[in-house]
Structure 1
Amino acid sequence: MAEAEQKKGLEGVVIADTRLSRVQGDIGKLTYCGYDILDLAEHASFSEIVFLLWNVRLPNKVELERFKATLVDEMCLPEDELEGMYRYPVSAHPMAVLRTAVSALGLYDPAAEDNSPDANLRKAMRLTAKMPTIIAAWERIRSGKPVVEPREDMGIAENFIYMLKGHEPNQTEIDALNVYLVLLADHGMNASTFTARVVTSTDGDMYSAITAAIGSLKGPKHGGANEAAMRMFNEIADFGNTKEWFEREVKGKGRRIMGIGHRVYKAMDPRATVLKKHAEALCDYTQNCKLIDVALELEELALADEYFIERKLFPNVDYYSAIVLDAIGIETDMMTPLFAMSRVAGWTAHIIEQWHDNRLIRPRGTYIGPVDQVWTSIDER
């Protein structure tokens, strides 16, 4: 039998039908269930996006209020879960903490192994609601501060900043974080979403699938890119001259600019366009955001360079999301967990969708190792 055509990294390979999101990289367009991301970013709350992805339609007013209330009701962590987090080493990376804590959540859910539609919706609600609390609680724990419980009168974005900082956030921060959560909620068959669907295809439970997705998101070639971009911006700021850094590191050494370029987008990432505006607004508000100037100047240098022009390399969502999160006051190593806090909406939606017509995802590899080897005894080797 002839070997199947190989696609490295599964590039261009279609693995499933989906109604959730569509990425049109050639024209720089992203839609959720048919709605343009630019419209959603301007008008929708994160709760509406979660409802949209789980139900493939927008909620009416009564449904939305009920849905938001249920989300907030689910935000508190089990007491044993929180006590367990106090025993984690404070040096642990926040993504490792999130991965561990989410896995542990399954231990406190008697329906963890129930993969029925109703049970999976309940688990999706539980995971989406509790991940912001886990992330905020860990930042408080590792900083030696008391954990702040969520409030019933606040939504997801507002509650997260409140639990993180211990005081009510301003509206500029809330709006920026809400937009961030809306923009990153889903994005086609990306690596972490694919990971979640692979685990689900084995009839695995939702906690296992989300834990695996978090592990996939952690890497710097996926969700960890925002953290890498922020470290790069700080490096350039310390260097003191963006143009000289660009000439030395990028042109001279061939170094990659973190947050510029995308596997799918060959036009401007629409999410980056929206986040750029919010980054500028936040930095104007705080008057304490030196890195926005670095980001703007570096983007201008890259987009005027033949190498980037020929390859159609533009800022992606990680580029300006790093600036937005930094302006809100998010520590650099906490940025990828916030990516997960948004993307869990899409992960759970894909898991639910996978269950509608579930089949084991089992790709093949092309064998390139030695052949016709002859066994020799241990004394003859």
Structure 2
Amino acid sequence: MFQKGLKGVVAVHTKVGLVDGDNGILRYRGVDVKELVLDYSFEEVAYFLLYNNLPSENELQLFTNKLIKGRTLPEYVQTIIDTLPSTASIMDAMRTAISAFGTTGFLEKDTMEQAIHLTGALPVIIARHYRNQQELPIIEQNSDFSHTENYLWMLQGTSPSLAQVEALETYLKLTMEHGLNASTFAARVTISTESDLPAALTSAIGTMKGPLHGGAPAEVLNLLEEIKEESRIRVVIEEKLKKGEKVMGFGHRIYKTEDPRSILLREACVRLQGSDPWLDLATMAEKEITSLLEKYKPGRNLYTNVEFYAAAIMRSIDMPSVLFTPTFSMARMVGWSAHVIEQVEDASIFRPQSLYVGDISEK
């Protein structure tokens, strides 16, 4: 049976993640994402996704040290990034730099070791090219900082607040893994040919670059900036609905109920209420917009998706929109790697059929 874009077609068996859109459930390796996000750090959740168990204190320290080691880019990778034109997008810089790790010495490492190393390296790659684009001096990594805190440090050159770190880290943990999405599928297809991890991750990054996959939070940011203050929420949204315009940040192709990631991001914003006006605006706007959507589009059940609160969080930490998709990719590196490792164990190449619909007449 033909399904355009393979929608609904089961292509793999996986133990990495469960996405149940009908019931609004997201699980990492069988554990509800809420339990992981609320109780564990980025490093602990990443370890869990990669190894299928939570780390002991010693295992966590070793894992963290490996991530920190990955922050030191080889000189040739630094040179590649520094010679890219400023007009090259950050996603293109990421794709180029990650592919450059495909050297004999690096590929001799165990695949898991490669995955941890590249997870540690990607934030540095992002920050380095971004600061080059802005004609700002490079900020060296700080080994005393966590994965999330160090990322903000390298981007901004100042120590982020605890509220900023908590908000961004919640987002990163929630977006590490989300089933067989387009970029994850691309990574699994590449590795299924017995290629290597840098090649598979390069495929994933190239896929994530597409605006249909990784670019939605920027549109939500435009909406929040148009609203600006609580008193304008109803005016702005009613005008859009009367014109038949889409309200960005509401509705999801998979989730038919509330996106569980959105619920947890909302809770993070509520916990941080009063710490940032953009987080406060987002929580107030959601209530008003949901009410208006029910009025103008009854029965559609349009709830906030992960991009709505992601945009508020990005704005609260002064992150420009060009960094939204790279930051999303920084989190998804963990999920991509977990899927790649699982696909290696399966050892089955993807080879779907195509249906020829062209001219069959003799020329």
Counterpart pick for 1:277 among 264, 267, 291? 267
Taking the TM superposition and a 5 Å limit, the aligned residue runs for 1:78-89 are 78-89=74-85
How far residue 40 of structure 1 moved from its aligned partner, in angstroms, is 1.0
Instruction: Please tell me whether Structure 1 or Structure 2 has the larger radius of gyration of its CA atoms.
Output: 1
| Corresponding residue for residue 265 of structure 1 | 255
The letter for the 1-side match of 2:192 is S
Deviations 1:159-216 (A, max 9, x none): 1111111122211111112111110000111111111111111112111111111111
Counterpart pick for 2:106 among 107, 111, 116? 111
Does the Cα contact within 8 Å between 1:30 and 1:37 map onto a contact in 2? yes
Equivalenced residue count is 362
Taking the TM superposition and a 5 Å limit, the aligned residue runs for 1:331-350 are 331-350=320-339
Describe the shift of the 1:303–1:311 C-alpha distance in structure 2 as closer, same or farther (beyond 3 A). Answer: same
3-state SS in 1 of match to 2:212 = coil
| Corresponding residue for residue 286 of structure 1 | 276
Deviations 1:89-143 (A, max 9, x none): 2233222222222222335x6233x5xxx62112101110000111122222212
How far residue 57 of structure 1 moved from its aligned partner, in angstroms, is 1.1
**CA distance, structure 2, for counterparts of residue 314 and residue 229 of structure 1:** 14
| Corresponding residue for residue 11 of structure 2 | 15
**CA distance, structure 1, for counterparts of residue 360 and residue 248 of structure 2:** 41
Does the Cα contact within 8 Å between 2:23 and 2:257 map onto a contact in 1? yes
The CA RMSD measured in Å over matched residues stands at 2.3
Counterpart pick for 2:197 among 185, 190, 206? 206
3-state SS in 1 of match to 2:195 = coil
Describe the shift of the 1:141–1:290 C-alpha distance in structure 2 as closer, same or farther (beyond 3 A). Answer: farther
**CA distance, structure 2, for counterparts of residue 298 and residue 209 of structure 1:** 43
| Corresponding residue for residue 182 of structure 1 | 173
3-state SS in 2 of match to 1:284 = coil
| Corresponding residue for residue 21 of structure 2 | 25
How far residue 298 of structure 1 moved from its aligned partner, in angstroms, is 6.2
| Corresponding residue for residue 305 of structure 2 | 316
List gaps (5 residues or longer) in structure 2.
none
| Percent of aligned positions that are identical | 36
How far residue 20 of structure 1 moved from its aligned partner, in angstroms, is 0.8
Does the Cα contact within 8 Å between 2:188 and 2:339 map onto a contact in 1? yes
**CA distance, structure 2, for counterparts of residue 299 and residue 366 of structure 1:** 44
| Corresponding residue for residue 162 of structure 1 | 153
List gaps (5 residues or longer) in structure 1.
376-381
**CA distance, structure 1, for counterparts of residue 210 and residue 222 of structure 2:** 15
Describe the shift of the 1:58–1:25 C-alpha distance in structure 2 as closer, same or farther (beyond 3 A). Answer: same
| Corresponding residue for residue 53 of structure 2 | 57
The letter for the 2-side match of 1:110 is G
1:358 aligns with 2:350: no
* Structure 1 range deviating more: 12-21 or 221-230: 221-230
| Corresponding residue for residue 357 of structure 2 | 368
The letter for the 2-side match of 1:119 is D
1:94 aligns with 2:90: yes
The structure 1 segments of at least 4 consecutive aligned residues displaced by more than 6 Å after TM superposition are: none
TM-score, normalisation: structure 1: 0.88
The letter for the 2-side match of 1:97 is A
Does the Cα contact within 8 Å between 1:242 and 1:297 map onto a contact in 2? no
Describe the shift of the 1:167–1:260 C-alpha distance in structure 2 as closer, same or farther (beyond 3 A). Answer: same
Counterpart pick for 2:246 among 242, 256, 281? 256
Deviations 1:271-329 (A, max 9, x none): 1111123335556213466863784366334542453x533332111111111011112
Does the Cα contact within 8 Å between 2:270 and 2:283 map onto a contact in 1? no
How far residue 231 of structure 1 moved from its aligned partner, in angstroms, is 3.0
Does the Cα contact within 8 Å between 1:299 and 1:315 map onto a contact in 2? no
Describe the shift of the 1:42–1:294 C-alpha distance in structure 2 as closer, same or farther (beyond 3 A). Answer: closer
Does the Cα contact within 8 Å between 1:219 and 1:225 map onto a contact in 2? no
Does the Cα contact within 8 Å between 1:196 and 1:213 map onto a contact in 2? yes
TM-score, normalisation: structure 2: 0.92
Does the Cα contact within 8 Å between 1:231 and 1:332 map onto a contact in 2? no
3-state SS in 1 of match to 2:9 = coil
Does the Cα contact within 8 Å between 1:243 and 1:301 map onto a contact in 2? no
Deviations 1:24-60 (A, max 9, x none): 1111111111111111111111111111111111111
* Structure 1 range deviating more: 266-275 or 145-154: 145-154
Taking the TM superposition and a 5 Å limit, the aligned residue runs for 1:68-79 are 68-79=64-75
1:129 aligns with 2:120: yes
3-state SS in 1 of match to 2:102 = helix
